[in-house]
Structure 1
Amino acid sequence: MTTTCAGTHFFRNMIKLFLTVWMMLILPISYAGQTPQHDFIQLNNGRIRLTFNKSTGGFVSMEDLVKKEMISKTGSSGIQTPWELYIDKAGASQRADISSFKEFSFENNKPDALTLIWKGWRESGDNDTKVTVTVTLEKGKALSAWNIKVEGLKGRQLSKVVFPRVGGLPNSADEYLAVPHWMGELLQDPGAQLAALKNTPQQFDWFYPGHLSMQLLALYNKQGRGFYAACDDAAAYRKNLAVVLEPSGTLAYQMENFPPLEANRLAYQLPYNAVIGSFHGDWITAAEQYREWGTQQAWCSDSRLKNNATPAWLDSTALWVWNRGKSDQVLKPAVDLKERLGLPVNVLWHWWHGCSYDDGFPEYLPPREGKTPFIESVKWSQEHGVKSLVYMNQIQWGNATASWEKEHASLLAVKDKDEKISSHVYNIFTGKALTNMCVGAEGWRNKYVSLADSVVNDYQVNGVYMDQTCLSRMCYDKTHGHPLGGGNYWVKNSGKITEGIRSKVLHNKQIALAGEGVGEAWMPYVDAFLVLQVSRERYAGTQGWQPIPFFQVVYHPYSLAYGNYSSLLTPPYDELWPEEHKPATTLQPLDKMFNKQFLMEQARSFTWGMQPMIANYLPLLATERKEEIDYLLTLSRVRNKGLKYLLHGEFRRAPEMTIPEEELSISKLSIYAGQKENVTTFHKKYPVVYSSSWKSADNMLGIAVASIYDKVYDVKMDFRSADYGLPASGKIYLVNEAGRKQLGTYSKGKVRINYALPAKGICLIEIAAR
């Protein structure tokens, strides 16, 4: 009996040995098939787990270990490449990924750090090309830092490095994609929107610095499972962030990096780390996570608003008027509105210049009404307390202008790889193009500074709105003295323009320099940012993306945001455009069914911590749209009482309330040159009460509430004071147009608010220590 058992064990052991040897022999050929479970490399810090294929280095999955959720999963095939290289040589471009290399190895000596190495690019015919990726988990956080180095280039140029690329992200109608496309936008079911695109690949991408104001995006579902992607680039290198629909039907995230072209470059290493991780929450949670890093950077310590370097008159602006045309069409209506409001009103002034809008730049001077009348009108408005911020595009020159040829402007223009200029026709009536100028070219910087010098000193305006400032271009002109193509020269040189203008200001005059959109990298250079997504429906309709105050959650105390397209009139028409295209009616009241759209835009501005604005204001609106103008004036007065929150406060998630919705009529009509279209009408449900919370520097909480509801709304809030860093007991105040009064008290760390907000009421609720 004993002998028989021993023989059986021997036979079984021989079978196991045979199977083991056999598996070892066939494993190398399983590259494109299913990889065995044990052929993984894993990083684990107790918060997240990253998995890579041991045979190829392909990305496999990311898991949130705290919530026990799979964030991304590509399958175990091992061919999901975490990077792509685009390499130029002799005029041809080639793409390489992990399957393009002969050898793969890795170093995994720590549970939270990994080095992946690929050697021998097959297309190069040598074994010197090497790609090294390092991935490190951050201690105690569900975040990882990724970096890449490419060696052995030998005269080949890296035009683009796609890294990291994380595939297998969920794609369902339950997913939300939040992107800081300037102020911020949110899209439900991004996969469906991507699938509808006709281009290949089907992807969304945004460039930074530029339309992407911050370096992050977030993908999450209603249950709060979230994917977080960012990078720790504090020097504003050019890059794209993208979301791609994969052939498998899942989504992928990728960052597209653009190394500057350098002759005889042998190696390239990403000068910053990509950040990949998970979170549990929504877009506010992701923004708060980014805020921990972003507010530690130099653009915050050097922020003009935070350092009290912005003009006092700009900070105290209670309301903006955005009108166009000669001074009678701009300054007189603003003075009228200031007298009605009783607080500072200033103007954003388009079409003051002598050239046609969107084709004649930069031939701004003299103004279209003449130098002397213009100066006299500016002085008159200043005497009446209204200051002017005039339009001057920072990066465009019309190539049909006389100055284009006379001043050899093409030498200073942005060039592509083929040394061709980059032009675009914005003006659909004249068909004349504007050409991108390079801020890295000293000649263009000097040109713009000289023009601004004349405008603020000779023509005595109070500042310049530098359109398209918070954008960047990649320029390949070798004569400009900057790195070619990618790099981080754009923001720094744009900053030289603002520094140059301020150096020319006479008599300690306080001028404001404003930029288009928002951008973290421009906060040390720009005094204010024109943010238009409050009115996104007005220029883009109601489908797809919706605006969110993503940027304000991160940087509100460091950046002054103002503006919207909010208007009660049809747009004007530039008198210098062709007469035959002029609409039959301009500056006529819109249908009253769109009045609530106007109120909604103003309520958003108030609760999103922005200086309010009205576009196309005429005094007739004070009677023909009295309720709407009165609402705007009330909103401006209440906001003015709470500047420590709504100008300088830090965003906090608002206490939960049950908010009713209502179907609104939405008008879509271009406010610029696209006047050949008629008003397009949409109907969509929107909240009729808007709220936000802001923490002040003296440890008080301000809760802004704005109603566009036709009924009384019961404001009911119940929250813990500790959630906002407030003391366990204190007082509750109500601030409205009538003043400030105490609503009640709270104790034992529990705050309860119950207040009947009147129809279309606007207020600020303060929580303060006793």
Structure 2
Amino acid sequence: MKEIKEYSLLIMSLCIIVFFTECKSNSSPGEIVFIENGKIKLGFEKETGKFISFSDVGHSYEFIERNMVKGLPWEVNFHSSSAGSESSSGIFPTKFSFSKSNELTLNLEWEGFEGMKELKVKAEVSLDPDKALSYWSIKAEGIKGNLIKSIDFPRIQGIKNLGDEELAIPTWMGSLVKNPRESLAASNAKVKRWSWSYPGSLSMQLIALYNPNLTGFYASCNDSLSFAKDFAVTLDTLNTLEYKMINYPTFDSTLTSYHSSYKAIIGSFKGDWITAAELYREWGTKQKWCDNSRLKNELSPSWLDSTALWIWNRGKSDNVLTPAVELKQKLGLPVNVFWHWWHHCSYDDYFPEYFPPREGRKSFKNAVKSAQEEGVRCIVYMNSIQWGDSSGSWKTEGAQPYSVKDINGKMRSHAYNIFTGNSLTNMCMATEFWKNKYSSLCDSAVNVYQTNGVYMDQACLSRMCFDKSHGHKIGGGNYWVENFGNLTQQIRATVSDKTQPILAGEGSGENWIPYLDAFLTLPVSRERYAGVTNTETIPFFQAVYHEYALTYGSYSSLVTPPYDELWPKEYAPKETEQLLDADFNKQFLMEQARAFVWGMQPTIANYHSFLNSERAEEINYLLDIAKLRYQALKYLLYGEFCRSPQIDYPEEEIKISKLSIYAGRKGKSVTTFNKKVSLLYSGTWKAKDNSVGIALASISDDTLPVHFSINSEDYKLSDKGKIYIRTTNGKELLGSYSNGLINVEISLQPKGICIVEIVPSV
């Protein structure tokens, strides 16, 4: 009887799509119920509960094209396990009611669903008393006997074109899309839609769509417990956007109701992505992930903070540690190593068969010890979730039962290795089997082979798992991040402190701030893997969490990529790690300039000593950045992100190379783009002592005059103080300021870097 009840209402994969096809499209003001706080005004249709009005009161702007709103502000999607193709059917409520708890809070209720008489959907929408923000929560009752795949809420349709739009998304580091509707319209997909997962590809819970000269649409969430959800935007045929947050309840037919433990946030703002970051930062930095930040609480070993430069090389120790020691001697500051392809198995193939190291146990240990004696530390690559299902250990260790299963009970596998075609399969973070396996690998890497830590590839991702045997909630929930935290705790309890090991991870994410010591943020080199598009990398994550999370990394390289010696010989290129064409040198400079002014630890990929002569100008630029940054850690490591002053940025068209990080992509060579880029980069940081540092980096071949003016009150400084300039040659006084007006006028030498310091009087 239970199964009959569960599926009799659902044909195959049934999705409840709730909308009213006969509703009037031109409602008069008397047919709308409003709530308003003097900053924003929200309106719902009295007859149906459709969300048909969202006004920015201060800027007299209406975000929603009322005629384009066809559905309710929510959608419940049920799942059927019946075999066959998916189909959907509309189930309509016959009754809608509303009430006001107070002048800022509206309660909405839908009921009377044909065939599902117990179902009730309730929503509460309240306005912030002081800000242009609203808070949305939802509850679905009477759902027992049904499997909920997702609940889309809030669902906001008919978002007008703001004109000159920009869309800011915190995709790990951050992306800024110019003219997003144009990009969506150009997609070949049947449904013109973008979606991003959290926790995972979204490092924070927000997106911002805005015209910097008009107003902006702000969509966020205040989930402090890391529940699985997606954020999505869809373009319809009439060029209006739909935004929705997709919530994932536990996949359990015995549940009688679902009530989100967090609230969605919808608001408006005037400004740009930095304004949105500042708005989010007010909430984000008050959460437990910042309270427990390893950087902020000085829980990471001091050598990590003191790292002046990372080398990201691959292969055996003579191709990795030896050049690092040489560069450390040349730089005169700490250089450390981010080490791939040290392991026994070929890359992206037979993970986690990492041991013994491919060059042999004795050689590896001796090389690590020798490098450490020279002051060079190394962290080694080990993927945090993948097991090669073609490997011998997959069968001998019985890994399959502990892998992630999707909603249909299938494993999540993907062939990253295009040469062998062998796939890697996701392991479930919530299983003791995988936590024990991975912590034992870290035990070997640190305790046996004496490395200085582990780089946990694919760390800042999460998966929903539907395997009931794993002991976690099925489907949606927050078990992934919780268990990642348990894994890192287990690792740290297992490994010795002798080598002062760290745990670094791929990407960035607010949820992982208490668990990882460093975050690899590679979008600083986005063009190398994505080419030139209308999407630009922005330091969105750093703008919110810089002083709580250490970021490093770059694909920035001056040579062609390597090829794993364990991959098939027939695909190996004739030469690897040879000089890239000098036309791409400015791309390298641009990447290093970005990383410098965005407060990241600098990194060079595939470094070799011959670059000191063959690409002397570029290597010296990198070394100067490392030296200057080292003098200014109070800004560039521990400082808070601030908006930079308005500066005239000259531009130049340069050559851009798009090339896989691995050579030999079955005959594919460098793809070349032309891109107009800035010749001057800036980043502004406020130190704990209340001084402000403005980092400037030129990639121009000419001297650049730099002039800007700022008001001290914009940075909460006293109205008088001194202005200094810091270069690799030291620090000197430029002048002083008074009456709150700060004027700076300097000349940057070709490819010059500096930090302008504003030191207020006490």
Q: TM-score range by the shorter chain?
A: over 0.9
Number of the residue aligned with 1:583: 573
Number of the residue aligned with 2:76: 85
Amino acid across the alignment from 2:427: M
Number of the residue aligned with 1:64: 56
Verify the 8 A CA contact 2:419 2:567 in the aligned structure 1. yes
Distance 1:41 1:173, change over 3 A: closer
Structure 2 residue corresponding to 1:624, chosen from 594, 614, 624: 614
Distance 1:247 1:77, change over 3 A: closer
Verify the 8 A CA contact 2:68 2:157 in the aligned structure 1. no
In 2, the alpha carbon distance for the partners of 1:757 and 1:126 equals: 71
Q: 1:569-603 CA distances to partner (integer Å, 9 max, x unpaired)?
A: 00000000001100122100000000000000000
- Following superposition, the deviation at residue 37 of structure 1 comes to 3.0
The answer to whether 1:274 aligns with 2:264 is yes
Verify the 8 A CA contact 2:713 2:740 in the aligned structure 1. yes
- Following superposition, the deviation at residue 431 of structure 1 comes to 0.7
**How many matched pairs?**
739
In 2, the alpha carbon distance for the partners of 1:287 and 1:96 equals: 40
Amino acid across the alignment from 2:748: L
Which residues of 2 match residues 214-363 of structure 1 at below 5 A? 214-363=204-353
In 1, the alpha carbon distance for the partners of 2:178 and 2:664 equals: 28
Number of the residue aligned with 1:726: 717
In 2, the alpha carbon distance for the partners of 1:54 and 1:110 equals: 17
The answer to whether 1:743 aligns with 2:724 is no
Amino acid across the alignment from 1:277: G
Verify the 8 A CA contact 2:572 2:664 in the aligned structure 1. no
Verify the 8 A CA contact 1:700 1:768 in the aligned structure 2. yes
Any idea what SS the aligned residue of 2:469 has? coil
- Following superposition, the deviation at residue 186 of structure 1 comes to 0.4
Distance 1:35 1:29, change over 3 A: farther
- Following superposition, the deviation at residue 461 of structure 1 comes to 0.2
Q: 1:420-478 CA distances to partner (integer Å, 9 max, x unpaired)?
A: 21110000001111000011111010000001001101000001000001001111111
Verify the 8 A CA contact 2:76 2:152 in the aligned structure 1. yes
The answer to whether 1:686 aligns with 2:677 is yes
The answer to whether 1:114 aligns with 2:106 is yes
The answer to whether 1:562 aligns with 2:557 is no
Q: Answer with 630-639 or 35-44: which moved more.
A: 35-44
Number of the residue aligned with 1:481: 471
In 2, the alpha carbon distance for the partners of 1:509 and 1:237 equals: 35
- Following superposition, the deviation at residue 127 of structure 1 comes to 2.3
The answer to whether 1:103 aligns with 2:100 is no
Number of the residue aligned with 1:21: none
Verify the 8 A CA contact 1:596 1:664 in the aligned structure 2. yes
Q: 1:355-393 CA distances to partner (integer Å, 9 max, x unpaired)?
A: 000011000000000001000000000011100010000
Number of the residue aligned with 1:369: 359
Structure 2 residue corresponding to 1:49, chosen from 18, 41, 49: 41
In 1, the alpha carbon distance for the partners of 2:163 and 2:622 equals: 37
In 2, the alpha carbon distance for the partners of 1:96 and 1:235 equals: 34
Structure 1 residue corresponding to 2:386, chosen from 382, 390, 396: 396
TM-score, reference length from structure 1? 0.94
Verify the 8 A CA contact 1:710 1:759 in the aligned structure 2. yes
Q: Answer with 58-67 or 293-302: which moved more.
A: 58-67
Amino acid across the alignment from 2:731: R
The answer to whether 1:707 aligns with 2:698 is yes
Amino acid across the alignment from 1:717: F
Any idea what SS the aligned residue of 1:230 has? strand
In 2, the alpha carbon distance for the partners of 1:285 and 1:336 equals: 44
In 1, the alpha carbon distance for the partners of 2:24 and 2:351 equals: 57
In 1, the alpha carbon distance for the partners of 2:758 and 2:68 equals: 56
Verify the 8 A CA contact 2:454 2:504 in the aligned structure 1. yes
Verify the 8 A CA contact 1:361 1:393 in the aligned structure 2. yes
Amino acid across the alignment from 2:504: A
- Following superposition, the deviation at residue 128 of structure 1 comes to 1.6
Number of the residue aligned with 2:687: 696
Amino acid across the alignment from 2:48: T
In 2, the alpha carbon distance for the partners of 1:120 and 1:363 equals: 57
Verify the 8 A CA contact 1:732 1:768 in the aligned structure 2. yes
Verify the 8 A CA contact 1:323 1:349 in the aligned structure 2. yes
Q: Answer with 717-726 or 597-606: which moved more.
A: 717-726
Which residues of 2 match residues 440-519 of structure 1 at below 5 A? 440-519=430-509
Greater Rg over alpha carbons, structure: 1
Amino acid across the alignment from 1:46: G
Number of the residue aligned with 1:668: 658
Amino acid across the alignment from 1:700: S
Number of the residue aligned with 2:644: 654
- Following superposition, the deviation at residue 172 of structure 1 comes to 6.3
Distance 1:673 1:399, change over 3 A: farther
Verify the 8 A CA contact 1:428 1:674 in the aligned structure 2. no
Amino acid across the alignment from 2:46: K
Distance 1:77 1:403, change over 3 A: closer
In 1, the alpha carbon distance for the partners of 2:422 and 2:58 equals: 58
Q: Which runs of 5+ in 2 are unaligned?
A: 1-19
Any idea what SS the aligned residue of 1:261 has? coil
Which residues of 2 match residues 193-232 of structure 1 at below 5 A? 193-232=183-222
The answer to whether 1:757 aligns with 2:745 is no
Q: Answer with 263-272 or 44-53: which moved more.
A: 263-272
- Following superposition, the deviation at residue 50 of structure 1 comes to 0.6
Verify the 8 A CA contact 2:727 2:755 in the aligned structure 1. yes
Amino acid across the alignment from 1:220: Y
Amino acid across the alignment from 2:464: M
In 1, the alpha carbon distance for the partners of 2:28 and 2:275 equals: 37
Verify the 8 A CA contact 2:560 2:663 in the aligned structure 1. no
Verify the 8 A CA contact 2:451 2:499 in the aligned structure 1. no
Number of the residue aligned with 1:544: 534
In 1, the alpha carbon distance for the partners of 2:583 and 2:542 equals: 30
In 2, the alpha carbon distance for the partners of 1:243 and 1:91 equals: 29
- Following superposition, the deviation at residue 29 of structure 1 comes to 11
Amino acid across the alignment from 2:26: Q
Q: Answer with 459-468 or 219-228: which moved more.
A: 219-228
Q: Answer with 373-382 or 253-262: which moved more.
A: 253-262
In 2, the alpha carbon distance for the partners of 1:616 and 1:90 equals: 49
The answer to whether 1:38 aligns with 2:30 is yes
Amino acid across the alignment from 1:73: I
In 2, the alpha carbon distance for the partners of 1:100 and 1:577 equals: 57
Q: 1:62-115 CA distances to partner (integer Å, 9 max, x unpaired)?
A: 111112122x21315764321111013563877688x72111111135331101
In 1, the alpha carbon distance for the partners of 2:602 and 2:116 equals: 62
Any idea what SS the aligned residue of 1:417 has? coil
Verify the 8 A CA contact 1:666 1:681 in the aligned structure 2. yes
Any idea what SS the aligned residue of 2:348 has? coil
In 2, the alpha carbon distance for the partners of 1:307 and 1:77 equals: 50
In 1, the alpha carbon distance for the partners of 2:129 and 2:89 equals: 33
Number of the residue aligned with 2:395: 405
Any idea what SS the aligned residue of 1:633 has? helix
In 1, the alpha carbon distance for the partners of 2:69 and 2:495 equals: 61
Distance 1:733 1:432, change over 3 A: same
Q: 1:124-158 CA distances to partner (integer Å, 9 max, x unpaired)?
A: x2422100011000011000000110001121111
Distance 1:240 1:586, change over 3 A: same
CA RMSD of aligned residues (A): 1.5
Any idea what SS the aligned residue of 2:33 has? strand
- Following superposition, the deviation at residue 494 of structure 1 comes to 0.9
Amino acid across the alignment from 1:698: D
Amino acid across the alignment from 2:601: Q
Any idea what SS the aligned residue of 1:751 has? strand
- Following superposition, the deviation at residue 480 of structure 1 comes to 0.9
Q: 1:508-552 CA distances to partner (integer Å, 9 max, x unpaired)?
A: 541110010000000000000000000000110011211000000
